[in-house]
Amino acid sequence: MAFFRRGRNQEAAVAADELGAPEVQEEQPVIPEVGPFDSTQVSERGDRLDLGAIWLPGKQGAELRMEVDNNTQRVTGVAIALNGSILQLQAFAAPKTTGIWDEIRAEIAESIKSQGGAADDVPGTMGRELLVKLPVKLKDGTPAVQPARFVGFDGPRWFLRGVFSGRAAFDKEAAKDLEDLYRNVVVIRGTEARPPRDLLALTLPGQVPSLPNPVAPTQPELNPLQRGPEITQIG
Domain residue extents for the chain: 37-234
pTM as predicted = 0.76
| H helix intervals, the chain | 8-19, 101-114, 172-183
Looking at residue 32, its pLDDT comes to 63
pLDDT of residue 54: 97
H or E element in which residue 27 lies: none
Give me the residues of the chain with pLDDT under 50, please: 1-16, 209-235
Which residue type does 52 have? Answer: G
φ/ψ (deg, to 5) at 110: -65, -40
What is the structure's pLDDT at 210? 44
Q: How far is CA 101 from CA 65, 163, 210, in A?
A: 25, 13, 26
Q: SS3 of 83, please?
A: coil
Cβ-based neighbours of 146, under 8 Å, separated by 6 or more: 133, 134, 135, 136, 165, 225
> DSSP string spanning 177-231?
HHHHHHHT-EE---SS---TTPBPPB--TTPPPPPP--SS--PPPS-TTS---EE
| Residue 164 burial (CB count, 10 A) | 25
pLDDT for position 156 = 94
Backbone angles phi, psi at 150, to 5 degrees: -100, 130
Residue 13 confidence (pLDDT)? 46
Strands 75-82 and 85-93: antiparallel
pLDDT of residue 2: 41
Strands (E), 27-174: 37-38, 49-50, 54-56, 63-68, 75-82, 85-93, 118-124, 127-137, 143-155, 158-166
Nearest to 38 by CA among 206, 197, 157: 157
Q: How far apart are CA 88 and CA 52, in angstroms?
A: 16
Amino acid letter for position 15: A
Length of the chain: 235
- DSSP classification of residue 129: E
